[in-house]
């Protein structure tokens, strides 16, 4: 549920909220007192009384749209064109899923799919 961390001469309660760590400072107390406070904080957390902000869920499409706007401002035209093509391929392969759902397995599936597409495209050249 939560963990107790000692850092810079203070104890902290560390909670995991939507895959992100949220730190609450307990303070400069002894370990026994810190554990008691941690138990109380865990109870408050289960009752949703700590008001730890949830991480806003953003989809792949939203992220790509924001990134493209950044790229248009900060990168060359040729780089933007290339990255637009790459983003189109990412969208077609992964779909509009929350970024939190993209894990190692999804990336490996994407890579396998891209390699098989490449092999199909160039198999007529007898390279493979």
Confidence of residue 45 (pLDDT cuts 50, 70, 90): confident
Which of 20, 16, 87 lies closest to 57, judged by CA? 20
pLDDT of residue 1: 76
Query: What does the pLDDT average to over 18-46?
Result: 88
Confidence of residue 28 (pLDDT cuts 50, 70, 90): very high
Residue-wise pLDDT tens digits, 46-100: 777 766 666 578 999 999 999 999 999 999 999 999 999 999 999 988 999 998 8
pLDDT of residue 81: 94
DSSP helix/strand/coil, 23: strand
Give the bridge partners for 75, in sequence order: none
Instruction: Indicate if the pLDDT at residue 24 is higher than 60.
Output: yes
> Model pTM?
0.52
- How is residue 40 written in tokens? 């109380």
CA distances from 108 to 37, 46, 111 (A): 43, 36, 5
- How is residue 50 written in tokens? 């700590």
pLDDT of residue 47: 76
């Amino acid at each position: 549920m939560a963990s107790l961390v000692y850092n810079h001469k203070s104890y902290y309660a560390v909670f995991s909220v939507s895959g992100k760590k949220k730190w609450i400072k307990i303070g400069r107390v002894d370990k026994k007192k810190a554990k008691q406070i941690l138990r109380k904080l865990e109870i408050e957390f289960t009752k949703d009384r700590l008001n730890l902000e949830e991480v806003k869920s953003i989809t792949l499409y939203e992220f790509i749209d924001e990134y493209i706007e950044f790229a248009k401002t900060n990168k060359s035209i040729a780089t933007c064109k290339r990255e637009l093509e790459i983003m189109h391929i990412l969208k077609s392969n992964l779909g509009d899923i929350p970024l939190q759902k993209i894990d190692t397995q999804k990336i490996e599936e994407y890579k396998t799919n891209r390699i098989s597409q490449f092999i199909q495209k160039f198999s007529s050249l007898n390279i493979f």
